[in-house]
Copies of this chain bind each other. A is one copy, B any other.
Amino acid sequence: MKILILGGGGMIGQKLARHLLEHGLGGQGDLTIISHDIGFAPDAAPVGDQRIGNLADPGVAEALAGERPDLIFHLASVVSGEAETDFDKGWRVNMQANWALLEALRAQHQASGGAYRPRLVFTSSIAVFGAPYPGKIGDEFLLAPQTSYGAQKLITETMISDFSRKGFIDGISIRLPTICVRPGKANLAASSFFSGIIREPLNGQEAILPVADDVRHWLASPRSAVGFVIHAAGLDTALLQGRRALNLPGVSVTVAQQIEALRDIAGEAAVALIRRQPDPAIQKIVSGWPRDFAPERALALGFRADADFHAIVQSYIDEDLPRR
């Protein structure tokens, strides 16, 4: 089985590649993995075939589709903050490059006389929604993105659904919760603090909390994210009945509940490293984000999230906390 990971150099892409190398996929161990990204860290997962390139460049999508991977994990994206500040880059990478990929896959489908029809797992985002929200967002709630990133994700979902309905590919879009605890350094994303207030204290460092303790958000661990994309890869898409984009399960917690979990696991000394420094700009952005979901379809289809926020913290400690 030939697998292509787009965005293979990213955090989820790396964890996915390592998982596939260790565990295979659906009982199959003879996997050929092509990992594609604009760059890879020196300690990247040891897949045999590491490709450096930009999917938005002419010919790149066509070359990758020409290898006819059986399964494509499409995790590549300009992140939310960058899509907002660099409008051109966001639309070029998060929309036009995806169109080019779908068209290249359709060309392969047609060149094969219809035999080639790859499974495509696309990681979408809860950014496809926009405030105001009901208490819990149901599976039939309006899609109304309020960021360029969210608009681009919705558009790509919609293209994937139509190309799939036509039989050119067999796609599924999964709307990931905010991933937490992200390993590594803090970044400029407005959501960075959700990870930072856990990660930094566990590493003995100070963390900044820019919002109030009663802010609620929808989270999943990187471990769950890898589980989600693998589950999506093996799903019988006939069960989706034409609605090929799914809200995934997650954990809805307030910042106060996050801090309580940190206290339970790492003690008062860790909590003391969180410094409150309100940031009205971040508060405003975060106030527009979803807080809670009732992801009944995804649960019925077997997607499983972390049990609670304690499990999310423990997942970071198990997988990513640098050993002393």
Contacts and interface: CB of A to CB of B under 8 A. Distances in A.
Interface of A: 87, 130, 134, 139-146, 148, 151, 154-155, 158-159, 161-162, 165-166, 242-243, 245
A243 B162 contact: no
A122 to B, nearest CB: 15
B155 A158 contact: yes
A142 B144 contact: no
A242 B130 CA distance: 9
B144 A166 contact: no
Contacts of A87: 166
A158 B151 contact: yes
B143 A142 contact: yes
Nearest to A161: B151
A145 B162 contact: yes
21 contacts: A87-B166, A130-B243, A140-B142, A141-B142, A142-B142, A142-B143, A142-B243, A143-B143, A144-B161, A144-B242, A144-B245, A145-B158, A145-B162, A146-B165, A146-B242, A148-B166, A151-B162, A154-B154, A154-B158, A155-B155, A155-B158
Contacts of A158: 145, 151, 154-155, 158
Contacts of A159: 151, 155
A242 B143 CA distance: 12
Contacts of A166: 87, 148
Given A151-B159, A151-B161, 18 more contacts: A130-B242, A134-B140, A140-B141, A140-B142, A142-B142, A142-B243, A144-B242, A144-B243, A145-B161, A145-B162, A146-B165, A146-B242, A148-B162, A151-B158, A151-B162, A154-B154, A155-B158, A158-B158
Copies in the complex: 2
Contacts of A144: 161, 242-243, 245
Q: Which of A140, A141, A154, A166 has the most CB of B within 10 A?
A: A140
A140 B245 CA distance: 17
Contacts of A139: 142
Rank and list the top 10 A-B pairs by shortest CB-CB distance, nearest first. A151-B162, A140-B142, A143-B143, A155-B155, A151-B158, A144-B243, A148-B162, A154-B158, A155-B158, A146-B242
Contacts of A134: 140
A154 to B, nearest CB: 5
Contacts of A243: 130, 142, 144
A140 B131 CA distance: 11
A165 to B, nearest CB: 7
Contacts of A143: 142-143
